[in-house]
Amino acid sequence: MDYAFEHHKIYIGRHVRELPTPSLIINKSIIAQNINKLHDDVSRLGISFRPHLKTLKTLEITRLMLGNGLYRKVVCSTIPEIVGSLPLVKEGLLDEAIFGMPVYKSVIPRLTALRKEIKIDLLVDSCDQLALLESSGATWDVFIKIDVGARRAGLATNSPRLKELLQAVEASQSANLKGIYCHANHSYGCRTEESVVEMLQHEVAEVAAAASFVSTTRPLIVSIGATPTAHVIDRLNEKLPPNVTLELHAGNFPTNDLQQVSTGVISINHQAIRVCADVVSVYPERNEALINAGVIVLAREASEYPGHGKVVDQQHWDVIRVSQEHGILGCTKQNVDEKVGNLFKVGEKVFLWCQHSCITAAAFYAYFVVDENDIVIGTWIPWKGW
């Protein structure tokens, strides 16, 4: 079993340099700042907000993202995220969850059983999924998932299948049309604030176009977002018809990571998550060092920042190669003459920013939450599995 999972409590009150490695460190005050900023933006705009639970998957972060009941709905990528957040339903802080992947056959019995405990809404992007719902014997509120350019899940607004699906939902006994949902995950590729703002306006225009295909003027929710476009939500200037309510969803925003910094809309200091590793060996002959955080911890995700992770206090040094448990630190800045032996010592700790916090967090069974002085003030245990 994972060492940090078994022993996390004994580290409360200790400095991060005493942590077992690799470990995941969360800065509580940066998390709070990031969440407060988004809550302030959506409340100024008067739109509603639905956090996605996929990044840190814990009760503590869910409570913070919901503003302790100010916002009352979530989107979940897995069943454990729904089950894990049920204590908040019991506390009267949470009302409903969207299952965040278009519904598939084997999950329907599990979702049906959970409906006794929380209202569950679904995403659909195919008439075949409606046929699956018919065999569930229940009626579900559904959002039509549209594709606004990411080419992951969803139907493009110019697809004839979108109009067919809308008609099929309107005619279905098993599905009530609640809204339109898009997720701009291709906004992670933006590199300037202007391009992120353009993508935000595009998302709104696309959900509005899909909503305009609905034959009645029934109330509809249009749910937009991804963390890059959520970061610029204060630039929103789109008007929607009176029957359409705008909702923002986002998941990564409390932690951020190098991918978010690369979009140009937040700074490097908005990152709330670091990985702590040991310097295992130093190789002056190749000007590299070995650490005990490899691909399982850091992933092979890319951004404007080179490699697989950035050393926090040595701006020219990154994790340049990874295998399962091994990471190699190297100097990535040309014409910089820094000697590995002067910067990294065997037995010391190294702290890294990661490319994609959702994937890095998934490698850990316990997170260490720290204050401004890097003292562990708490531990969070994530919901694992599918």
Ligand X SMILES: Cc1ncc(COP(=O)(O)O)c(C=O)c1O
Nearer to ligand X, 73 or 183 (CB): 183
Nearer to ligand X, 178 or 183 (CB): 183
Single out the residue of 53, 34, 57, 22 nearest to residue 309, CA to CA: 22
Q: Which residues pair with 155 in a beta bridge?
A: 146
Residue written as token pair 């809308």: 166
Nearer to ligand X, 154 or 294 (CB): 154
Contact assessment for residue 296 and residue 325, using Cβ atoms and an 8 Å cutoff = yes
Minimum Å gap between C-beta 28 and ligand X is 20
Nearer to ligand X, 21 or 355 (CB): 355
Minimum Å gap between C-beta 223 and ligand X is 8
Minimum Å gap between C-beta 177 and ligand X is 18
Minimum Å gap between C-beta 229 and ligand X is 8
Nearer to ligand X, 140 or 253 (CB): 253
Minimum Å gap between C-beta 84 and ligand X is 17
Nearer to ligand X, 4 or 146 (CB): 146
Single out the residue of 208, 134, 137, 138 nearest to residue 168, CA to CA: 134
Minimum Å gap between C-beta 207 and ligand X is 13
Minimum Å gap between C-beta 358 and ligand X is 6
Give residues in contact with ligand X (CB under 6 A). 52, 54, 75, 100, 183, 185, 226-227, 249-253
Nearer to ligand X, 227 or 303 (CB): 227
Contact assessment for residue 213 and residue 162, using Cβ atoms and an 8 Å cutoff = yes
Nearer to ligand X, 227 or 271 (CB): 227
Phi, psi angle pair for 62, to nearest 5°: -65, -45
Angle at 251 between CA 349 and CA 106, to 5 degrees: 110
Minimum Å gap between C-beta 82 and ligand X is 14
Nearer to ligand X, 146 or 214 (CB): 146
Minimum Å gap between C-beta 309 and ligand X is 19
Minimum Å gap between C-beta 249 and ligand X is 5
Nearer to ligand X, 181 or 305 (CB): 181
Largest Cα–Cα distance in the chain?
A: 71
